[in-house]
Amino acid sequence: MNYCPNCGEPVNEGAKFCPKCGQNLEATTGAAPLGKAKAQWSQFLTDESGELLMEQEKGLEVTRGDLKEAAQRKLSGRYGEWLKTILWYLVVVALSSVFLSVALGKMAYHSFWYNYGYGYGEFGSGVSYVIWLLLFLVVFVFLFLVSTLFQAVMQWCSIFTLKGQRADGVRIFRYMIRSQKNRVLKANVLTGIYTFLWSLLLVIPGIVKGASYAMTNYLLEKEPDITASEAISKSRKIMHGYKLEFLILRYSFYLWWLVMSLSAGLAGFYVLPYQNVTEMKFLDLLYQKYQEKQAESADL
């Protein structure tokens, strides 16, 4: 099969003109330029309106329903194992949010002129403002780290659930600190920072980059000798072509997120294990596919 050097459209052998753009194919120098055009156009996929599409590989040949069903089977009778971890997270987030609100209020109080009668008065203490600002930043960074590490613990709990082991998040967190030589902490803090920085460009780049880092914790558990940086790089490599499929799976839980928000987070005791184990099952199958492709390449 040849390809049009102008638009990349597949063309039949012996065709004189491209059926899509009308390019004169006889003006080309044969199959070499056409084959080169395929390589060039395969790097940039666009739809009919010219919008850039995410790269895609051959799918995992498993439906989202199959993945969710497999997750439900693994979680059957085991949701209670996740209860303590999620409860701790909700408590820490609630307390941190209170501190953030208080700090913001105090910062606002010390930032304006006050007078009870005429609208003017003595300026609030600059020292107090700086103190409350520093407290706000410390709590904000703390909340960021807690959220990042909580997601890591959720993924590790999912791995343990798929392996048939107890998903005790508190024990897993201690294991991550004591036995993993800080590589798990380093990897998750780095991916959290990278995702946040990409999100500053607009929301979509952060979402896409977050998907490319999705396999980092799986690789850290699966390959004990891999470093944090190597796990991040390898996750990006394996997720290439599968980010869209992964994101579709992730956002298929949006109705559950709505239920969780309406229930003031109580539905999270069901939704979080369900979603994380489903996603981890997807990553597990993808890793198996990657291993098979590596074995095939080694045999050639």
The β-bridge partners of 122 are 114
Digit-coded pLDDT (tens) for 224-249:
889 999 999 999 999 998 999 999 99
Q: What is the pLDDT of residue 286?
A: 94
The per-residue DSSP string of 155-180 comes to HHHHHHHHTT----HHHHHHHHHHTS
Q: What is the mean pLDDT of residues 154-161?
A: 94
Q: How far is CA 300 from the centre of its chain?
A: 34
Q: 148 CB contacts (<8 Å, ≥6 apart)?
A: 188, 189, 191, 192
User: Which is nearest to 236 in space by CA: 264, 207, 211?
Assistant: 211
State pLDDT tens for residues 88-114. Answer: 998 998 898 898 888 888 877 766 544
Of 71 and 103, more confident: 71
**pTM higher than 0.85 for the full model?**
no
- Given a contact cutoff of 8 angstroms between Cβ atoms, the answer to whether 129 and 107 are in contact is yes
